[in-house]
Amino acid sequence: MKGKHLLSVHDLSQAEVNRIFALAKTLKNKQRQGEEHQLLKGKTLAMIFQKASTRTRVSFEVGMWQLGGKALFLNAGDLQLGRGEPVKDTARVLSRYVDGIMIRTFAHDEVVELARYATVPVINGLTDLYHPCQALTDIFTAWEFKGELQGKKLAYIGDGNNMANALLETCAKVGMHMTVATPPGYEPPAAVLAEAGNDARFTGSRLEIVADPFAAAQDADILYTDVWASMGQEKEQVARRAAFAGYQVNSELLKVAKPDAIVMHCLPAHRGEEITDEVMEGSQSVVFDQAENRLHVQKAILALLLGN
C-alpha cells in the first residue's frame, strides 16, 4: 500500500482491507501492552480541516505521535486555500514538505484533485460523498465482536449519506450483507451502489435499499445509524426530522434483529432522534469501542501508506 492514496474503500483490494485489520489489531495490542511501535519515526502528516472534528483530528494527531511521527493541524482558513490558491498548487507545495496529507472537507472532487497533484499519499478524512476511515473502523469493530465477517448482515437505518456510501463499499469488500433503510429520496447515489455492486459480485455480498426500517433490521447482526442532518445540511434539519421520524434505532427495532446484535453509531449522536439514549447506553452498544478503534485503524492506514 505504500505510496497509494485512500480516497474511498473502493480504492483498496480485499487483501489490503484484511491487511489494515491485521495491523490495526497488532498495533492495538502493542499500545495496550505498552510496547513501542514507532513505525513512522521522522514522518510528518499534514491535516487539512474544512469541517469541524473531534474524533478525526484527535485520532490522527495522537496516532501519528504514537507512531513516532508528527501531525500538523492546518485549518483551511489559515491556509492559502482559504484565499483562493488552487488545490493543485497546495498539493504540490505540501508534497515537498510532508510525507502524507489527510483532508476533511465538503466536496469529494477537491480530494480527488488534491490526490491527482500530490506526490505523497492523500487520505480522505471525510467528504460529503465518503467517510472511508470511519467505515473501515466500523467493520474492523464488527470483526472484533462478530469474528468471521462473510455473510454477516449490517442494517443501516437513516440517511443515505457519506457514511452509508462508505459502509456499502466496505461491506462489499469483505462479503457482508448490508441493507439500507431510508425514506424515498434519501437513498445512496446510484453510482455508489453500482461501484459497490461490482465488488459484491466477487465476494457474495448482498446490498439492498428498502424503505421499511423493520424489514432492514430483521435478523441483522449489526444495527447502524447516523445523524439525520450532516454538517452543511443544517437548513434542512426541520424537513429531515419529519422525513426520518420513523427511522430511529430504539428498543423496538432492536427486538427484530438477532438477539446478540450489536449497535453502532459513528458519532456525534443526536440522542432522542436517530437513536435512543436507552439503546446507545445499553449492553448491545459498541459505540465507544468504535470511537476508540478510529485510533488503531488509522494508525494501521498511516503505517501502511507512509511507512516502509
Name the binding residues for L-ornithine: 162, 226, 230-231
Residue 116 among the catalytic residues: no
Task: Give the β-pairing of 222-225 and 153-157.
Answer: parallel
Residue 201 among the catalytic residues: no
Q: Which of 265, 266, 290, 298 is catalytic?
A: 266
Residue 206 among the catalytic residues: no
Rounded to 5°, the CA angle 102-30-15 comes to: 60
Residue 83 among the catalytic residues: no
Could you tell me which of 233, 168, 236, 235 has the C-alpha nearest to residue 205? Answer: 168
Distance of alpha carbon 146 from the chain centroid: 19
d(CA 18, CA 101): 23
Q: Which of 10, 128, 226, 298 is catalytic?
A: 226
Q: Which of 5, 10, 66, 104 is catalytic?
A: 104
Binding residue ranges: 53-56, 80, 104, 131-134, 162, 226, 230-231, 266-267, 294
Q: Which of 5, 10, 108, 131 is catalytic?
A: 131
Residue 10 among the catalytic residues: no
Using the structure block, give the residue that is written with the C-alpha cell 480504492: 11
Q: Which of 50, 108, 128, 134 is catalytic?
A: 134
Binding residue ranges for carbamoyl phosphate: 53-56, 80, 104, 131-134, 266-267, 294
Q: Which of 5, 177, 265, 294 is catalytic?
A: 294
Cis previous bond, 259, omega within 30: no
Rg (CA), the chain: 19
Written as one string, the DSSP assignment of 115-131 is HHH-SS-EEEEE-SS--
Q: Which residues carry out catalysis?
A: 104, 131, 134, 226, 266, 294
